[in-house]
Structure 1
Amino acid sequence: MLKAIRKRWQHWVNQRIPRSDQRAFGQRNIFILPTGAGVVFGFLLLIMLITGINYQNSLIYLLTFLLGAVAVAAMHQTHRNLSGLELTLIQAGEGFAGDLIPFRLRAVSPRHDTLALSLACEDVILTQQHIPAGQQADLHLSVPSYQRGYLQPQRILVETRFPFGLFRAWSWLRPVTSGIVYPNPLVAPDVASTVQDGEEQSKSRSLDGNDHADIRPWREGDMSQRVQWKRYARTGEMVIADWEGEQGSPHWLDYEAFAGTDRELRLGYLTHQVLERSRNNSRFGLNLPGQVIEPDTGAAHTNRCLKALAIFGLEQPREGGPLLHGTRAGEGAGRAAHAGGGGLA
């Protein structure tokens, strides 16, 4: 019963407050109710009123109606404090799964000061934000992430209890723009790319005492694990072991190189490789099914590769659609999807 009531309530709220990156709060979308302290205050006023009636005491009447007038004024002021506020999502942040993803919002209060404003998303609360009249303030709210993909908060709570904490006025911002959650980096096994870049291969020579590997000179982009350090210490020549069957280019990070591995593990391996190549300022490209990012260097190239890994196989979330990744609401659905498609090559 409670679940059905909650579902109907959420459906009504979603219709009344559709998704938008900008929201102006007014009579139609502000809700107000007494707080716990407000309920206790009203109960005490009722007791005082009954006491005044019982004893016909004018001073008790005076104090009761005076405090009642203060409560009514506080209710109007609490609603007014939020009324007229304009809140806009300026930038949805990026980060790795499990991190707090920063969302930057801009608040403008054109008519009057907005005092003691609070923003909240799940367990993260941003309190005591003051917006002077006619000015704007940038607010940074961190949103929890749980899995890679798009991070679209279901609701960002906007509330105030100013001036006395007797009433709570609140509403929501339901943003359209999504943050990006990268896969968690996992240390990748030493595998070779299946992609050929057309570069002239160096003449190979048999590795001493090993019929299954060839060696070639070190090239920019080669992983340090493949360097023959003993030979380097002995001769000063830096060479790489090319094992039998490894014909791919070292400039490519390849999804297909991790054959037989779960999709999410592959993406974690590739994320680690992207970060490692970026730290070394090495030139690299990314090969994903249906998408190829040509070899390049720099922060912009790294961000492009990380974003491609984050949203691989996912669709941009839409109004009313399921959020399979990135949010708590979609965590269970995401696990089910992984269980059904974890072996997808």
Structure 2
Amino acid sequence: MSTLSLRRYLYQRYWRWISHYLDKRQPAADKVVLTQKLIFILPSRYGCWFMLLTALLYLLGTNYQNNLILLLSYLMLSLFLLCIVLTYQNMSGLTLQCPRAAEFFCDAPGIATIALSSAKSHFMLQLNFIDQDALTLEQQVDTAALTIQQSVRGCYPLPRLKISSSYPFGLWRSWSYISLQQQYWAYPTPIAGQQQQFSRDDNNSTAEHKTTAPSVDSLAPYRSGDSLRYLLWKRLARDPFNPVIRLQQHSPEAEPDWVEVPAVSGDALERALSIACQQLLVLEQNGNRYGLKIAGKTIAQSNGPAHLQRCLQELALC
């Protein structure tokens, strides 16, 4: 077993054990307030060297009976112990929650919004999900946007959020792992394709789009209140006593469409879901009414952000 594999194995075992401990200590909740029960504090690497230097100065001052060196060691020890309280207070009382579920496409970074609130200020906080990049907040903010990635479509519970800080002097490091009662959606990656998944409504399959073009027959006498935009000025010059206007033409309403996912499995299913995802996005962007047929389910035709979200969630869970 290579060194890298051994480290990964040990880390997985450690995280499995710590997750079991944290699940009992802090179950998932909609809102979490950092208290003494949830905050862990240990000396940082810099703090360990600082404490070693303090001990050496104390031994040196005792050996040579130098009061100035002893006074310096006492001051350093006092500062070291005071930082425990300051580091704890910098995190205590902070309230965190995730107001809405994150939504993104597979293999693309998503954004999970974390709301932070507190009656006091907090400085130099670092937030990140496990195995994700950390975000540093130098000052107190209301919201923090954290990146989250997932390569497999589906609906997943939000992973534990790690929040840490070494404020004010970096001698101590405080951290906490919190679990928020929220989920995130990973949708199939949209790709274009020629698969026959796009069809017209069965009730309108024989109907054709009929567009009307302005012609000389679509004229009407001018009446008071009509827009001068449609007035035929050339004809008015020839016959000023009989003004006419061109009737404004209206395009017929677009026919509703169906997006169908065939009954396949494996890689063929993943490709079909990605193509269907792309078609849903195009139909929504064009303002068309559309429905979804997938795995024996039928979602009625509609449009709008809520309808698109429901269709994408069905693709993620298929």
Q: Which residue of 2 aligns with 1:56?
A: 65
State the Cα deviation string for residues 270-307 of structure 1 (Å, max 9, x = none).
11111222233333211011421122233332222222
Instruction: Classify 1:294/1:55 alpha carbon distance in 2 versus 1 (closer, same or farther; 3 Å).
Output: same
Superposition misfits of 4+ residues, deviation over 6 angstroms:
257-261
Take 1:6 and 1:293, find their aligned partners in 2: how far apart are those partners?
41
Aligned AA (1:185): P
Instruction: Classify 1:309/1:40 alpha carbon distance in 2 versus 1 (closer, same or farther; 3 Å).
Output: same
Instruction: Classify 1:73/1:219 alpha carbon distance in 2 versus 1 (closer, same or farther; 3 Å).
Output: farther
Q: Which residue of 2 aligns with 1:33?
A: 42
Take 1:260 and 1:120, find their aligned partners in 2: how far apart are those partners?
33
2:53 equivalent to 1:44: yes
Instruction: Classify 1:200/1:23 alpha carbon distance in 2 versus 1 (closer, same or farther; 3 Å).
Output: closer
Alignment of 1:115-194 (within 5 A): 115-121=123-129, 122-131=131-140, 137-191=142-196
CA contact (8 A) 2:44 2:171 kept: yes
CA apart distance, 1:18? 1.2
Q: 2:307 aligns with which of 292, 301, 310?
A: 301
CA apart distance, 1:256? 2.1
2:277 equivalent to 1:275: no
Aligned AA (1:117): L
CA contact (8 A) 1:101 1:179 kept: no
CA apart distance, 1:34? 0.9
- The count of aligned residue pairs is 265
State the Cα deviation string for residues 19-62 of structure 1 (Å, max 9, x = none).
12211111111100111111111111121122112212111110
Query: 299-308 or 51-60, which moves further after superposition?
Result: 299-308
Aligned AA (1:296): S
Q: 1:102 aligns with which of 85, 108, 111?
A: 111
Take 2:19 and 2:265, find their aligned partners in 1: how far apart are those partners?
44
Aligned AA (1:74): C
Q: Which residue of 1 aligns with 2:270?
A: 264
State the Cα deviation string for residues 185-240 of structure 1 (Å, max 9, x = none).
122224156896233625xxxxxxxxxxxxxx5689xxxxxxxxxxxxxxxxxxxx
User: Secondary structure of 2:82's match?
Assistant: helix
TM-score computed with the length of structure 2 as normaliser: 0.75
- Any stretches of 5+ residues in structure 2 without a counterpart? 1-8, 212-254
TM-score computed with the length of structure 1 as normaliser: 0.69
CA apart distance, 1:63? 0.1
Measured on the aligned residues, the alpha-carbon RMSD in Å equals 2.7
Over the matched positions of the two proteins, sequence identity in percent amounts to 28
Q: Which residue of 2 aligns with 1:288?
A: 294
Aligned AA (2:21): W
